[in-house]
A and B are shown apart, each in its own frame.
Chain A
């Protein structure tokens, strides 16, 4: 009895002290002091606040619902929790369901429901994500613990109100090369009772966001965003208040919207004010002039008189500090060229695997149906591809078919492939003579394509449309888009956002000629910030195996966040000109003549 009591006391004291150790953390430092806002740090404080607030809404979106889109009817929360189909799959109390995420990873969901057919106040859902990739452009790990605090309306319709107490523990969100660690405890309310006006409020104790060794901590936060989906484009209103600290600014400040922040569609806000207050009533007022420019009004001594005005812009406040000048232009051109060429290279791969001499085409000829594979098929020139998947009808493809190919030095028609790709077919229209129109969602995982003397690897999800119907003699057409995609080359990963490529490929007689238009934005370890690129004139690329050559014609415009512009103009297959417009006024300030080889 005495021994049992000792064990109970020992366990109780262990729990009461949180486990004895401090996790090898040093004793907690004294509470951070309120930060004195000065002319020197006002921009940094404002940038951290704007980025942090944006991230908090992103967290809400990931945890809850995409209030910025038309997804109110299918909250991401429910999708993430895998209870969107509650009525069809009643969730037994206390049971755990381990499910695979759409693309990769798992989510282990445990729930307690008063009514297994719907959500009720007091219901609890705990989701433990493990590298879960639902194809939303990010991968999530960690524990999301939700307790339902309010329910109104019908969650299966567009009109409802849901309140949650949210506890985020060790949540890691990986988006491209960016890794955000999140800890938080807050209440979240999703309200679409006034649909099409929907809103999200995050209010609570704390929200801690860490990127690398740098962190932003919110406490006493109240972040509200309202979207009117009835307008096109939608109108957005946001208000925020709370306290922000963290080692990024070395103290804490209080912030509050004094004029509601308003935005339209995907544009930056066009009006609104945020008052940020630091030590001794020092402050910076973030005044939004329009969807481009912002003025910071700095009061360093707290006398309510502006001591300094700082003109800035949204790109800078969003932490995007990209700029183009004569010294950076060659490096930026190189990174953009590799991003554009690489994306085109790996985007063309899936569709071309359906011709009769390629792995998927060979599987079709074998009249396979149902679940199959992996089946090794020999590639046309050398190497193999292990093909598996599900085909509904033998001898053809149709919507819903899933195909996977794992390539091993698979060589054909001037290309060598390694790595793997998964193809989920949306449509497949077949015509006589090895002709088809394919639309599909493709997931590439370390897919390496060596062609034209260069090797590019692709990682991510691409929506492709590949037209092999030869409606014009000898031409095929490629259209590919990706929300987020990584192109690797030479040991460097370039992260593409909103990437698209349209190509007309003339392959009936050598040499293969590609006319290509591209757009998107790119960032890479070699360049600061994001750069938006857009074809001004389509590239015409005569395909050969010499990596020192480039498009014989075409122009690609690259824009930095500060408005500076670089135009890459192809002179011929060996030479290229870089036109640098520092101030973005449409006139080139510097021209750099170089070669495609120098930009490799």
Chain B
């Protein structure tokens, strides 16, 4: 059967006319995808919340930019996450954002590797900027080019952050986890 489409507005109708089987397949796939994407979004948000919880519950608020204004009201660290709290935010953040990027890249066939790899590069790059070698190279150039009296938050991030190989490993683990979990997108296709 040949379907002739005379205008874009007719595409949907053309599909309908093309046969209920094709339409049903597309809508089922779309529904599955949406369900899978929703599940992934929920898991990303959960990871983000857990990571944020570490800052609220275990960290000194004064050392965290977004909590520093509230530092005077910090009730005290409860140490809920213990040693895991050291690198859990790195892992959760990498997992959440790698997943979100993968989902955002949508049905593109390379969404998983591209999303995971691109976030891996960004997250690892940011961590490496806190290492003395990178910091010595980039911080002065950045701060001068930015021409901010106090260097700004990015300068503070580089200068006051502490590079840690364990955080780097947690970042890699988070991205790999996102890559693995996002396979649900493909299995649902």
Contact = CB atoms under 8 A, between A and B. Distances in A.
Interface of A: 2-3, 6-7, 9-11, 13-28, 30, 93-94, 96, 108, 110-112, 122, 124, 126, 128, 130, 143, 145, 147, 167, 169-170
Given A6-B97, A11-B122, A126 B163 contact: no
Nearest to A126: B140
Contacts of B51: 20
Nearest to A9: B97
**10 tightest A-B CB contacts, nearest first:** A21-B167, A23-B162, A20-B90, A110-B140, A10-B97, A126-B140, A16-B66, A20-B89, A19-B161, A28-B60
Contacts of B116: none
Interface in B149-178: 149-151, 153-154, 157, 159-164, 166-167, 170-171
Interface residues of B: mostly helix, strand, loop or mixed?
A: helix
Contacts of B101: 3, 6-7, 10
B126 A14 contact: yes
A6 B164 CA distance: 24
A93 B146 CA distance: 12
A14 B77 contact: no
Contacts of B130: 19
Given A7-B101, A19-B130, A19-B161, A108 B119 contact: no
Nearest to B174: A20
A94 B147 CA distance: 9
Contacts of A21: 86-87, 89-90, 127, 162, 164, 166-167, 170
A82 B163 CA distance: 30
A163 to B, nearest CB: 14
Contacts of A130: 136
Contact of B105 (A3, A14, A24, A147): A3
Interface in B65-121: 65-66, 76-77, 79, 81-83, 85-87, 89-90, 93-94, 97, 100-101, 104-105, 118-119
Interface residues of A: mostly helix, strand, loop or mixed?
A: mixed
Contacts of B93: 10, 13-14, 17, 20
B45 to A, nearest CB: 13
A6 B100 contact: yes
Contacts of A108: 136, 140
Contact of A24 (B141, B147, B167): B167
21 contacts: A6-B97, A7-B101, A10-B97, A10-B101, A10-B123, A11-B122, A18-B157, A18-B161, A19-B90, A19-B130, A20-B51, A21-B164, A22-B89, A23-B162, A26-B83, A27-B79, A28-B59, A110-B140, A110-B143, A128-B140, A170-B132
Contacts of B135: 143
A567 to B, nearest CB: 49
Given A3-B101, A10-B97, A126 B64 contact: no
B144 interface: yes
B40 interface: no
A469 to B, nearest CB: 50
B86 A22 contact: yes
Given A20-B87, A94-B144, A147-B150, 12 more contacts: A14-B157, A15-B157, A18-B157, A19-B90, A19-B167, A21-B87, A25-B86, A25-B162, A27-B82, A96-B141, A143-B136, A147-B149
Given A108-B140, A111-B144, A167-B159, A124 B149 contact: yes
Contacts of B55: 17
Nearest to B101: A6
A214 B105 CA distance: 51
B147 to A, nearest CB: 6
A15 B130 CA distance: 11
Contacts of A7: 101, 118-119, 122
Given A2-B104, A124-B144, A126-B140, A10 B122 contact: yes
Contact of B167 (A23, A93, A170): A23
Nearest to B58: A27
B10 to A, nearest CB: 28
Contacts of A3: 101, 104-105
A14 B94 CA distance: 10
A580 B139 CA distance: 57
B187 interface: no
A24 B83 CA distance: 8
B27 interface: no
Given A10-B122, A18-B64, A122-B149, A23 B163 contact: yes
Nearest to A21: B167
A27 B97 contact: no
Contacts of A170: 132
B2 interface: no
Contacts of B105: 3
Contacts of B94: 20
B59 A6 contact: no
B25 interface: no
A18 B147 CA distance: 21
B187 to A, nearest CB: 23
A93 B166 CA distance: 38
B145 interface: yes
A598 B136 CA distance: 51
Contacts of B150: 147
B63 interface: yes
Contacts of A18: 63-65, 157, 160-161
B84 to A, nearest CB: 11
A15 B162 contact: no
Contact of B159 (A24, A122, A169): A169
A591 to B, nearest CB: 55
A22 B140 contact: no
A223 to B, nearest CB: 23
Contacts of B144: 93-94, 110-112, 124, 126
Nearest to B92: A20
A15 B65 contact: yes
A3 B82 CA distance: 34
Nearest to A1: B104
A71 to B, nearest CB: 27
Contacts of A126: 139-140, 143-144
